[in-house]
Amino acid sequence: MSDYLGKNIPKLGFGLMRLPDHEKEIDIEQTKQMVDEFLQAGQTYFDTAYVYDSGRSEEAIKEALVDRYPQESYQLATKLCAWMGPRNAEEAKQQFYTSLDRTGAGYFDFYLLHALQEGNYKKYDEYGIWDFVKELKDKGLIKHWGFSFHASPQLLDEILTEHPDAEFVQLQINYQDWEDSKNQARENYEVARKHNKPVIIMEPLKGGNLANPPEDVHEIFEEVHPELSDASWGIRFGASLNGIVTVLSGMSSIEQMRDNLSYMKDFKPLNEEELEAVNRAQEKLGSLKTIPCTACHYCTDGCPQGIPIPDIFEIRNKQIRTGRLEEARQAYQKLSEVGPNASDCIECGQCESACPQQLEVIQYLKEAGEILE
């Protein structure tokens, strides 16, 4: 497909899930600076969601972007989550109008049904959300609609067959998951392409894990391009695929923004030598059994014990990558001073039902507690 929705959108998207913070509040001044530099570099796509940071992400982008730039100079995307929060169709649909009010936008360029997966996708049918977004498009309140997806290629094929008028799909794609038998990134991408759907890429760095990979993976990349960051390989890998609208990067600091812009302002797809380096990195990562958590924090919002699950998994993963057990235990002890332990889990299962990665969170917490406590 030589021409497609999003072909001319720059290939670095600003993901607004992990904005910079200051004293537990979003740092609006730094966010404004990041927005300014992003737009000045010719990038235009911004991605938020009704549920991000309990709505503060949408409020922040109003102040940092919508109030300061004409809407035709960028694309703004947000999402409706039918499975986490709303108790009925009316409450689910109200999310759209709340998002419109929070952002101050006159319309949304891209609007998504949020995080469809095995345990929740039928909620969008139950609440009539598919027809709702079509009505919004007819009214001019959204320009394009689609959905983000975290499940099997078989389910993706089923959904796209039932809803052929979906205009795009947002998929988790990164080089570590590309051939992974659980996440099936390549297969999902191929299903989307089979249905002629352009793809927006999320989690190109797997929740930041590929921005700081194991040392032997770093050495592979450094040998080819010592001047480039490890993060650049993940983002360029996604942007090099065909039919991509943009690659979302959840940037949390001006330094991360500047690094991303340094290689994406004049983006060039990976060449053969670079693809070979990525292949070698995939092989190295395949031998590590880290926890594939992306730190989305959906699990923590409803945890009755208040366990900081992603933070515990981050410590555990660092211990797996480096082998430094005592260092990990010290980090865990420091974390435990301000919150519950992994062993405080009561196995209610709320975390596993909310996890877009469909992780066995309870088992991972048990293992972390046994090793780190």
The 3-state DSSP class for residue 215 equals helix
Whether residue 1 is predicted with pLDDT greater than 60 in this model: the reply is no
- Cβ contacts of residue 182 below 8 Å, gap of 6+? 292, 358
pLDDT cut 70: percent of the chain above it: 99
| pLDDT for the residue numbered 106 | 97
CA pair distance 13, 46, nearest whole angstrom: 6
| pLDDT for the residue numbered 102 | 98
* Average pLDDT for 92-121: 97
Q: Is residue 18 part of a domain?
A: yes
What is the tally of structural domains in the chain? Answer: 2
- Residue 214 banded pLDDT, cuts 50, 70, 90: confident
Cα radius of gyration rounded to whole Å, the chain: 20
Judge if 131 and 171 occupy the same domain: yes
Judge if 183 and 320 occupy the same domain: no
* Residues facing 199 on adjacent strands: 169, 244
CA pair distance 357, 281, nearest whole angstrom: 22
129-149 pLDDT, tens digit each:
999 999 999 999 999 999 999
- For every residue of 108-174, which 3-state class applies, written as one string? EEEEEEEEECCCCHHHHHHCCHHHHHHHHHHCCCEEEEEEEECCCHHHHHHHHHHCCCCCCEEEECC
Judge if 108 and 220 occupy the same domain: yes
Whether residue 321 is predicted with pLDDT greater than 90 in this model: the reply is no
| pLDDT for the residue numbered 265 | 95
| pLDDT for the residue numbered 182 | 82
Whether residue 323 is predicted with pLDDT greater than 80 in this model: the reply is no
CA pair distance 19, 61, nearest whole angstrom: 10
Judge if 145 and 27 occupy the same domain: yes
CA pair distance 159, 162, nearest whole angstrom: 5
* Average pLDDT for 53-59: 95
Domain limits for position 307:
298-372
Backbone phi, then psi, for 343, in 5-degree steps? -70, -5
Q: Is residue 258 part of a domain?
A: yes
Secondary structure (DSSP) of 54-115: GGHHHHHHIIIIITTS-GGGSEEEEEE-SSSS-SSHHHHHHHHHHHHHHH--SSEEEEEEEE
Q: What is the CATH number of the domain that holds 88?
A: 3.20.20.100
Q: Is residue 2 part of a domain?
A: no
Q: Is residue 307 part of a domain?
A: yes
* Average pLDDT for 256-277: 97
| pLDDT for the residue numbered 223 | 97
- Residue 302 banded pLDDT, cuts 50, 70, 90: confident
Q: Is residue 336 part of a domain?
A: yes
Of the candidates 178, 132, 128, 123, the one whose C-alpha atom is nearest the C-alpha of residue 353 is 123
Q: Is residue 291 part of a domain?
A: no
> Residues 355, 299: contact at Cβ < 8 Å?
yes
* Average pLDDT for 210-215: 90
216-258 pLDDT, tens digit each:
999 999 999 999 999 999 999 999 999 999 999 999 999 999 9
Q: Is residue 43 part of a domain?
A: yes
CA pair distance 27, 321, nearest whole angstrom: 31
The 3-state DSSP class for residue 197 equals coil
Whether residue 211 is predicted with pLDDT greater than 90 in this model: the reply is yes
Whether residue 289 is predicted with pLDDT greater than 90 in this model: the reply is no
- Residue 279 banded pLDDT, cuts 50, 70, 90: very high
Of the candidates 297, 294, 315, 314, the one whose C-alpha atom is nearest the C-alpha of residue 306 is 297
Q: Which of 286, 318, 348 is a domain's end point?
A: 286
Judge if 269 and 320 occupy the same domain: no
Whether residue 331 is predicted with pLDDT greater than 60 in this model: the reply is yes
Whether residue 23 is predicted with pLDDT greater than 80 in this model: the reply is no
Judge if 116 and 162 occupy the same domain: yes
Q: Is residue 206 part of a domain?
A: yes
Quote the pTM value.
0.86
- Residue 24 banded pLDDT, cuts 50, 70, 90: confident
Judge if 261 and 310 occupy the same domain: no
154-180 pLDDT, tens digit each:
999 999 999 999 999 999 999 999 998
Using alpha carbons, list the distances in angstroms from residue 168 to 130, 149, 163, 224, 330.
Answer: 14, 11, 11, 34, 45
Judge if 227 and 86 occupy the same domain: yes
| pLDDT for the residue numbered 259 | 98
| pLDDT for the residue numbered 42 | 98
Q: Which of 286, 306, 327 is a domain's end point?
A: 286
Judge if 183 and 233 occupy the same domain: yes
The rounded mean pLDDT for the chain is: 94
Of 354 and 41, the one with more pLDDT: 41
Judge if 268 and 334 occupy the same domain: no
| pLDDT for the residue numbered 306 | 93
| pLDDT for the residue numbered 320 | 82
* Residues facing 186 on adjacent strands: none
Judge if 267 and 145 occupy the same domain: yes
Structure tokens at 251: 């940037």
* Average pLDDT for 358-372: 92
Whether residue 301 is predicted with pLDDT greater than 70 in this model: the reply is yes
CA pair distance 177, 206, nearest whole angstrom: 9
Residue 142 CA, chain-centre distance (Å), reads: 21
CA pair distance 124, 137, nearest whole angstrom: 17
Judge if 95 and 205 occupy the same domain: yes
Q: Which of 286, 309, 334 is a domain's end point?
A: 286
31-49 pLDDT, tens digit each:
999 999 999 999 999 999 9
Whether residue 339 is predicted with pLDDT greater than 60 in this model: the reply is yes
